Amino acid sequence: MLRDREYMRDPEGSGYSLTITLVVALLVIFVVQSILMFYAHAPLLDWFALSLGGFREHRYWQILTFQFLHLTPWPWHVLGNCIGLYFFGRSIEETFGKKTFLLLYFGSGFLGGAFQLFVTWILPNYPDYPVVGASAGVMGLFGAYAMLYPMRDLTTFIYFFPVTLRVIWIFWFVLLYSAFTTIIPYTPMANAAHLAGILTGVAFIRWGHRFKPNLGEWNPLQRKMRRERMIKAATINPKVLQRRPRPDVPSDLPSDEFISKEVDPILDKISAHGIQSLTERERAILQAARAKMSKR
């Protein structure tokens, strides 16, 4: 399970979410798939899961259909993908809109499946098990999310224990693990598809979209300097602030924790929507952050 700290508005302003629609569709398809496989013994994996053998038999539709099937009968596979899809998908959809979200999601799934077939074909003795799941598309969303918000905190559960980590550390772990297990496939997982999916998300944000991430976020020294410049640029004249009602601003947090929990999400908002999108409380928080930084 993951927890985000900011929920941005959909620039298209529509009233429904494609992310939630896809989550519901995956769950419904999982139930139908389980019923057909258990009661009717339908050979769904032979026809709709992705495999090199299936492609050699001209079942080219598998490059799409494998993204809607999941492992049965236990629901952990589909639930994990739905949680990732909901968390990362809603942020990407609200930042870039529905069309871009769909392009990134299914494009990552398509390229992930294609790379899985390529690795199976090119590497000797590579197992050709049927591949199912939305993981490649979800990894594409995660790769894009990590490029946009590398310093956000994510809370996940490892063996039922909550662990909070920065997005950038989770990104590097997933990327390196996927690369290693692509070369040495010791688990029956489509790690090549995961690897291609996450790289598609990175490439999409880095080169394929008009929005360009600030790669200084990935360098600690540049990140600190950029944060200080943004705070100074975004704060208003203290005399003007004194003439306005003072919103409640947290004052009991240590400086580093205050910057991480209160200021970084506001800087993300400035990057996405501009300084004019800030509320009075957010401006006051930046003013307090500037004061804390001046005392260091």
For helices 135-148 and 191-206, the axis angle rounded to 10 degrees is 40
- Amino acid identity of residue 84, one-letter, is G
Q: What is the mean pLDDT of each run of 10 residues along the chain (296 residues)?
A: 43 72 97 94 93 94 96 93 94 90 96 96 90 96 92 73 84 95 88 96 82 52 54 50 52 60 74 70 77 62
Strand, coil or helix: 154: strand
| 73 cis-preceded (ω within 30 degrees of 0) | yes
- What is the pLDDT, as a whole number, of residue 7? 38
Task: Please tell me the class of the 18-206 domain.
Answer: mainly alpha
- Supply the pTM of this predicted model: 0.70
154 beta partners: 165
pLDDT at 112: 97
- Kindly compute the dihedral angle of the four CA atoms of residues 203, 207, 210, 212, in this order, to the nearest 10 degrees: 80
**Within a 10 A sphere around the Cβ of 100, how many other Cβ atoms?**
19
- Burial per residue of 113-139, b for 16 or more beta-carbon CB atoms within 10 angstroms, e otherwise: bbbbbebbeeeeebebbbbbbbbbbbb
Domain map of the chain by residue range?
A: 18-206, 215-294
Q: What is the pLDDT of residue 1?
A: 41
Q: How far apart are CA 270 and CA 163, in angstroms?
A: 28
* Beta-strand relationship, 161-166 and 153-158: antiparallel
User: Other C-beta atoms within 10 Å of 143: how many?
Assistant: 26
Q: Write the burial class of residue 291 (CB in 10 Å: 0-12 exposed, 13-18 middle, 19+ buried).
A: exposed
Q: What pLDDT is attached to residue 233?
A: 52
Sign of CA dihedral 116, 183, 170, 273: negative
Nearest to 204 by CA among 124, 104, 116: 104
